């Protein structure tokens, strides 16, 4: 059975809106970081803030418990069940706030920076407030109302941008990252309630919402473990090498892996509801999975390739000249970035077809392999490589976790690994062929200032890359722009037709 054309168009337009919003949000976050790091805080301040800020996503996941995902995935809603899910979240967020009030100061003393405890407690108040919008926001995602959600997200992140820069400018240096986030959730709550007004009823029937809780806990457990192992490197760097080293390491991590994650968010947000709708149509499910993977690579590969070639220039331009020292770590993380981009699409696939437990297996493997390697590499290689040893741990350990995740997913949807690689490998191969042109431009401009050097290297690299993509893969900027403008539904289909076959 063929998916109706209006559904394809809705998916395509939804993906375009999420892509636009994610791009704008990414640019706002990048601009805030550039301004703050260039003008207001030091690498040490940045490292101290990282000790608290990197725990925020973990706290968000622990509060939600995957219940919002259950609201999207399940079809048996009733007012009583939805109200029960809401009150479950209220209870969890209140409990977590109480735990933070006790444990955050202890953690802060262990790290040696008392301000970290206060930052975590204040962020706990944000966890309680976000209950005001998580149910209606989940309902809007289920209804594929991504245009409205994207507009809300952009407005909220404009507020966060203003808050971060403003608070940093008046001297609240490490606090700007917390207070900006509070402004974002405040605007998000207001916007979601305007677009989808919702008030909870006084129903609390855990038995009726048992299936929601089971699905949510399975999904949430995966995400909590994910946040644990992806942020386990920060305390290792802080304890072994100090706050300044953590600031430099975080600069390389955020330039590569965090921006890759931001790009991949487009496909994560669109992927789960899309895969959930296609879960009974296996052929279309496979094609959509391949499409999202290729589209994610098209978005990520140019960014990773430029950073791999010109890491010193990108770090200097983005965060300031002192951060160019983190170029080696950034180049190592570029290798990890490609796998991280592809891996982001697979958990929504498994969750959407009803197998969140398989995602949990992958996260458990990663949670064992990566923190172990962070510690071992930090201790063994640290005396010679410093914090770069933790980046090496990423490059060694993450391919193992990705192989487990890809194997679980491909087996479940009936796609062979050979067919999967064949459908996507052309894009990174084009990047490999384009790299020498970029390296040559970088080699010939050693005395240039960072900004013009980065501009030249980026231009040469991207022109070469997209020329190769257009010729060998049928992927041209014009085709991408047409999809974003909604004139074609190609964003919902794989880019599989090379120019020679048109």
Domain ranges of the chain: 1-231, 238-354+410-502
Per the model's pLDDT, the better-predicted residue between 267 and 106 turns out to be 106
Per the model's pLDDT, the better-predicted residue between 253 and 61 turns out to be 253
- Output the pLDDT for position 477: 64
Per the model's pLDDT, the better-predicted residue between 155 and 80 turns out to be 155
Which residues contact residue 83 at a Cβ distance below 8 angstroms, ignoring those fewer than 6 apart? Answer: 200, 201, 202, 203, 204
Phi, psi values for residue 195, rounded to 5°: -80, -30
- Output the pLDDT for position 1: 42
280 CA to centre of own chain: 28
Any idea which of 205-219, 243-257, 339-353 has the lowest mean pLDDT? 205-219
Of the chain, the percentage scoring pLDDT greater than 90 comes to: 44
Answer yes or no: is pLDDT of 259 > 90.
Answer: no
What pLDDT band is residue 76 in, cutting at 50, 70 and 90? low
CA 11, 16, 20, 25 torsion-angle sign: positive
Strands (E), 32-79: none
The predicted model gives 219-224 an average pLDDT of 72
What pLDDT band is residue 310 in, cutting at 50, 70 and 90? very high
3-state helix/strand/coil string of 267-331:
HHHHHHHHHHHCCCCHHHHHHHHHHHHHHHHHHHHHHHHHHHHCHHHHHHHHHCHHHHHHHHHHH
Per the model's pLDDT, the better-predicted residue between 401 and 87 turns out to be 401
The segment with the largest mean pLDDT, out of 14-18, 185-189, 429-433, is 429-433
Which residues contact residue 244 at a Cβ distance below 8 angstroms, ignoring those fewer than 6 apart? Answer: 42, 43, 44, 47
- Output the pLDDT for position 21: 77
User: What CA–CA distance (Å, rounded) separates 305 from 302?
Assistant: 5
Per the model's pLDDT, the better-predicted residue between 465 and 61 turns out to be 465
Q: pLDDT tens digit string along 265-282?
A: 777 777 877 888 888 888
Q: pLDDT tens digit string along 114-123?
A: 999 999 999 9
What pLDDT band is residue 214 in, cutting at 50, 70 and 90? low
Please state, rounded to an integer, the average pLDDT across all residues of the chain: 84
The predicted model gives 86-94 an average pLDDT of 83
Nearest CA-CA partner of 54 in 187, 236, 320: 236
What pLDDT band is residue 303 in, cutting at 50, 70 and 90? very high
- Output the pLDDT for position 416: 92
What pLDDT band is residue 30 in, cutting at 50, 70 and 90? confident
Nearest CA-CA partner of 404 in 353, 369, 352, 355: 369
What pLDDT band is residue 138 in, cutting at 50, 70 and 90? confident
Answer yes or no: is pLDDT of 26 > 80.
Answer: no
User: What CA–CA distance (Å, rounded) separates 305 from 311?
Assistant: 10
Answer yes or no: is pLDDT of 129 > 70.
Answer: yes
CB 188 within 8 A of CB 156: yes
- Output the pLDDT for position 208: 63
- Output the pLDDT for position 315: 94
Which residues contact residue 212 at a Cβ distance below 8 angstroms, ignoring those fewer than 6 apart? Answer: 67, 70, 71, 74, 81, 84, 85
What pLDDT band is residue 495 in, cutting at 50, 70 and 90? very low
Any idea which of 19-23, 55-59, 146-150, 458-462 has the lowest mean pLDDT? 19-23
Which residues contact residue 466 at a Cβ distance below 8 angstroms, ignoring those fewer than 6 apart? Answer: 302, 475, 476, 477
Altogether, the residues listed in the chain come to a count of 502
Q: pLDDT tens digit string along 360-378?
A: 888 899 999 999 999 999 9
- Output the pLDDT for position 486: 47
What pLDDT band is residue 492 in, cutting at 50, 70 and 90? very low
- Output the pLDDT for position 73: 56
Which residues contact residue 42 at a Cβ distance below 8 angstroms, ignoring those fewer than 6 apart? Answer: 244, 247
Q: pLDDT tens digit string along 413-428?
A: 999 999 999 999 999 9
């Amino acid at each position: 059975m063929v998916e109706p054309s209006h559904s394809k168009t809705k998916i395509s337009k939804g993906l375009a809106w999420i892509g636009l919003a994610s791009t704008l949000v990414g640019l706002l976050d990048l601009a805030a970081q550039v301004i703050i790091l260039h003008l207001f805080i030091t690498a040490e301040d940045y490292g101290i803030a990282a000790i608290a800020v990197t725990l925020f996503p973990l706290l968000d996941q622990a509060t939600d418990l995957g219940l919002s995902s259950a609201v999207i995935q399940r079809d048996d809603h009733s007012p009583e069940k939805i109200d029960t899910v809401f009150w479950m979240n209220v209870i969890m967020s209140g409990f977590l706030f109480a735990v933070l009030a006790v444990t955050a100061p202890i953690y802060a003393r262990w790290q040696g920076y008392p301000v970290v405890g206060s930052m975590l407690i204040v962020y706990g108040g944000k966890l309680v407030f976000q209950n005001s919008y998580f149910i209606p926001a989940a309902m809007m995602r289920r209804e594929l109302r991504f245009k409205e959600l994207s507009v809300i997200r952009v407005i909220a992140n404009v507020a966060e941008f203003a808050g971060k820069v403003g608070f940093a400018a008046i001297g609240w240096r490490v606090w700007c990252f917390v207070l900006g986030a509070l402004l974002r959730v405040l605007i998000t709550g207001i916007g979601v309630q305007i677009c989808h007004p919702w008030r909870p009823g006084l129903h609390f029937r855990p038995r009726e919402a048992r299936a929601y809780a089971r699905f949510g806990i399975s999904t949430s457990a995966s995400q909590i473990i994910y946040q644990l192992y992806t942020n386990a490197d920060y305390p290792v760097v802080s304890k072994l090498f100090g706050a300044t080293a953590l600031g430099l390491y975080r600069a390389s991590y955020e330039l590569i892996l965090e921006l890759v994650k931001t790009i991949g968010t487009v496909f994560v947000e669109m992927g789960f509801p899309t895969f959930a709708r296609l879960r009974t149509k296996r052929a279309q499910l496979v094609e959509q999975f391949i499409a999202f993977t290729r589209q994610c690579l098209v978005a990520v590969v140019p960014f990773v390739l430029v950073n791999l070639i010109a890491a010193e220039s990108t770090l200097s331009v983005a965060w300031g000249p002192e951060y160019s020292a983190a170029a080696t770590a950034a180049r190592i993380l570029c290798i990890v970035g490609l796998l991280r981009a592809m891996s982001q699409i697979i958990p929504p696939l498994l969750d959407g077809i009803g197998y969140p437990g398989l995602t949990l297996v992958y996260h458990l493997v990663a949670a064992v392999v990566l923190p172990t390697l962070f510690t071992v590499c930090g201790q063994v290689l640290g005396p010679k490589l410093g914090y770069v040893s933790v980046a090496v741990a990423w490059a060694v350990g993450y391919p193992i976790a990705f192989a487990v995740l890809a194997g679980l997913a491909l087996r479940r949807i009936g796609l062979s690994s050979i067919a999967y690689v064949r459908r996507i490998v052309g894009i990174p191969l084009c990047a490999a062929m384009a790299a020498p042109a970029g390296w040559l431009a970088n080699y010939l401009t050693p005395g240039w200032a960072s900004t013009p050097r980065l501009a030249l290297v980026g231009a040469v690299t991207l022109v070469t890359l997209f020329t190769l993509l257009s010729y060998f893969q049928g992927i041209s900027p014009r085709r991408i722009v047409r999809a974003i403008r909604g004139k074609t539904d190609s964003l919902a289909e794989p880019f599989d037709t090379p120019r020679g076959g048109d």
